[in-house]
A and B are shown apart, each in its own frame.
Chain A
Amino acid sequence: MEEHLAHGALWTIKEGFTYPNEYIYWTIHIVVYPYITGLVAGAFVLSSMYHVFGKEELKPVAKFSLVFSFALLLMATSPLGLHLTQVFNSVHMIMTPHFYSAIAAFTIVYLTYMAIVLAEIWFVFRPFIVQQAKEKAGLLGLLYKAMTLGSFDVSEKALHTDERIIKILAAVGIPAACFLHGYVGFIFGSVKTVPLWKTPLMPFIFLMSAIISGVAGCIVTYIVGMSLKRNFICGASIRSMCKVLVWFLVAAIVLESIDIIFHAYTAEEFWSIMSELLFQRFAFKMLVVQWLFGMILPLVLLLLPRLTMLRAFISAALVLIGVFQMRWDVVIGGQSMSKSLAGFLTYDMPIIPRSIEALKEGPFPITVLLLMPLFLLFIFNKVLPVFTEVFNEEDCGFTEGLLSSKENAKH
């Protein structure tokens, strides 16, 4: 029995010829990390569709998706904390960033984006905060007073300026969100030793899957959140979100298939092992869960006429599962092919926490981590009207009328 187990030996099963130091070094945490940043980017893009492109029917979800994006963003770095073997050294990222490394700029990109999202949230909720600061007393009143940052001006002129700033922030936020996630794609795409990752398409593949997961995440959370509060859900908003989902689903399918087709057609040295991975070892994960249930089935469900709320919900939930599977297939699948091209490494996640490392690498921390954004959203909803300020049936009917008249004008 080894006294000191090699890092990775606990969850890696080796087959064929693999190098002695070869293990699955990037595990579940690195699967969850791009998943969460993807949700962040997607949710933000959705909220910007209302603020920047003036999609009125998305008004009821604009605030929600912005706050949801923030809740996810707060948790985005935590998987990395679990992943690093020397987490207390992570401050070195700020002290001596080595900018030749693709991950060195992460802190800067992350904090810039965080600043944009925080600023936008503040401007969006400012009228509400000011009103509460004036009305509420006690501790809560104090909290709202602090949140005003000393600005109590809610005159029409001030609000007008606010709106312009929100528009600018939302517009700047779109490239920032895309950069945040495209950058995560670049981190993988630039690893030259892993054939499954090394493609210039990677940032775009990651970005498209990010947007579909973010929009799907918003659809699912919004429908659940509103149903729990027994609020009226406007069909126009859901349909509009589904439309966004459809467009980006198509883009994701196109990009991901080009990638595989390209590998198959050029059939480089690694294709024999890669095809074994794609069509045998990962066939169920990749072809069935990721492709069929995660992309093609939701697309068909969304394209069928007379979209219902339930169908939208099911499609979005499938997309969420599919994108998670995609992250898994990319991160774990990429490392499953031995760099000797003559062996395989199988990832066997330690379920029963027999040691601290097994606990850290197991499903429990990651489950907590994935549920945290929902908990944060619940907390934020106590302070800010995330779900309450919504369309009533009249507003919804009005928007639907507006939309159908637009449709008619087109024909």
Chain B
Amino acid sequence: MNLSRRELLKMGLLAVCGTVIPLGALEILKPEAAASLIRPFSEKKRWAFVVDTTKCVGCGMCAKACKLENEIPFDTEVQRTWVERYVQLKDGEVIIDSPHGARYGFTKNDPQGKEINEDDVAKGLFVPKLCNQCEKPSCVQVCPVGATYKTDDGVVLVDRGWCIGCGYCITNCPYLARFFHPITNTADKCTFCYHRIKKGMNTACMDACSFGARKIGLLNDPASEVFKIISTHRVMVLKPEYGNEPQVFYIGLDDIVR
């Protein structure tokens, strides 16, 4: 075959383009996607949380422990985790409160500052709350600089050195789990005590709870209690209508819970 220099260059260029373009298509196959081919989804690590509201007594130890563990100034009115009290009266009225995020506990019969006659109460419950570490976190979606991100094992974290403090993530969280850290002045939130769970420890709130109302574990890990509860009990999540796919599962929620 006789090739002129021009033809050789032409074919050479074609060959290069022909290799590069299909290689470019490989980019569509992201590392996670490739990994999921080797390791089935069911084994993917994913932290999740279970809150059993039927066990919560509103002592507020979790909220207190969280503040101390994560060095959020104790007296500042912001909480990484908090407990809400719901009281429904027989006439249908619902009274909700969470004084100081319950870090001093619910010690009196005084929802919203008014004493209630026990005979008037139809039902009451305590609902501990924390960041839902959503599968589709809207806070991560809206961060303009990518300072907040989801780790491979599903926990949403904030890079304090990179946050610009626009508050867009705070506004976009349906659960109000976010706030500005009073010292660093950057967005802050519950991290499932990422620094502890990575070492095989429990979260601070879980350790502080004497009643077993809080449980952390890996989803899809047959040995974890969280997995057992979610796969065998009737659980619910908060505000599913926002489409964030929250990963904190509740036992014993009620329709009065906001």
Taking Cβ atoms with an 8 Å cutoff, the residues of A that contact B are 2-9, 16-17, 19-23, 25-26, 80, 83-87, 89-90, 92-93, 95-98, 100-104, 106, 191-194, 335, 339-342
Output the residue of A2, A16, A20, A26 with the most chain B CB within 10 A: A20
B33 lies within 8 A of chain A by Cβ = no
Given contacts A89-B145, A193-B174, 13 further A-B contacts (CB under 8 A): A4-B75, A16-B112, A17-B98, A19-B98, A19-B129, A25-B170, A93-B144, A97-B144, A98-B143, A101-B142, A103-B168, A104-B145, A191-B171
- Selecting from B20-28, B115-123, B182-190, B226-234, the interface stretch reads B182-190
Q: Report yes or no: A26 in contact with B171, Cβ–Cβ below 8 A.
A: yes
- Some 19 contacts from A to B, beta carbons below 8 A apart, are A3-B73, A4-B182, A5-B182, A17-B96, A21-B78, A21-B170, A25-B180, A26-B167, A86-B164, A86-B165, A87-B165, A89-B161, A100-B141, A104-B144, A104-B145, A192-B242, A193-B138, A335-B171, A342-B94
User: Does residue B246 face the partner (Cβ distance < 8 Å to A)?
Assistant: no
B93 vs chain A, min Cβ distance (A): 11
**Interface range for B:** 35 or more
The residue on B at minimum CB distance from A27 is B167
Would A89 and B101 count as touching, CB distance under 8 A? no
Q: Are B173 and A193 in contact (CB under 8 A)?
A: yes
Determine whether the beta carbon of B164 is less than 8 Å from that of A92: yes
A100 to chain B: closest CB distance in Å?
5
> When chains A and B are docked, how far (Å) is the Cα of A83 from the Cα of B78?
20
A94 and chain B: residue at smallest CB distance: B145
B59 within 8 A of A: no
CB-based contact A4/B73 at 8 Å? yes
Q: Is there contact, CB below 8 Å, between A6 and B182?
A: yes
A3 touches which one: B75, B78, B163, B258 (CB < 8 A)? Answer: B75
Instruction: Kindly list the 8 A-B residue pairs having the minimum CB-CB distance in the complex, ordered from nearest.
Output: A85-B165, A4-B182, A7-B180, A19-B176, A20-B101, A98-B146, A17-B96, A21-B179
In the complex with contacts A6-B180, A85-B186, A96-B98 CB distance below 8 A: no
Q: Which residues of A contact B78 (CB under 8 A)?
A: 6, 20-21
In the complex the two chains form, is B165's CB within 8 Å of A89's CB?
A: yes
A102 to B166, CA, bound (A): 12
**Closest residue of B by beta carbon distance from A7:** B180
Docked pose: A393 CA to B83 CA in angstroms: 73
Q: Which residues of B contact A (CB under 8 A)?
A: 73, 75-79, 82, 84, 94, 96-98, 100-101, 112, 129, 138, 141-147, 161-168, 170-180, 182-183, 185-186, 242, 258
Residues of A within 8 A of B94 (CB): 342
Q: Shortest CB–CB separation between residue A111 and chain B, in angstroms? A: 15
Tell me the complex Cα distance, A263–B201, Å. Answer: 48
B75 CB to closest chain A CB (Å) equals 5
Whether A92 pairs with B176 at a CB distance below 8 angstroms is: no
Chain A residues whose C-beta falls within 8 Å of the C-beta of B172 in the assembled complex:
191-193
Measured between alpha carbons, how far is A340 from B95 in the docked complex, in Å? 12
Known: A25-B170, A26-B167. A103 touches B258 (CB 8 A): no
Say whether A101 contacts B258, CB under 8 Å: no
**Interchain nearest-CB distance for B215 vs A (Å):** 22
Contact A83 B146 (CB under 8 A): no
Q: Given A2-B75, A25-B170, A85-B180, do A103 and B142 touch, yes or no (CB 8 Å)?
A: yes
Judging by beta carbons under 8 Å apart, are A103 and B166 in contact? Answer: yes
CA distance A61 to B91 in the complex (A): 65
Set of chain B residues within 8 Å of A8, measured between Cβ atoms:
180
Q: Enumerate chain A residues within 8 angstroms of B82, measured Cβ to Cβ.
A: 19-20
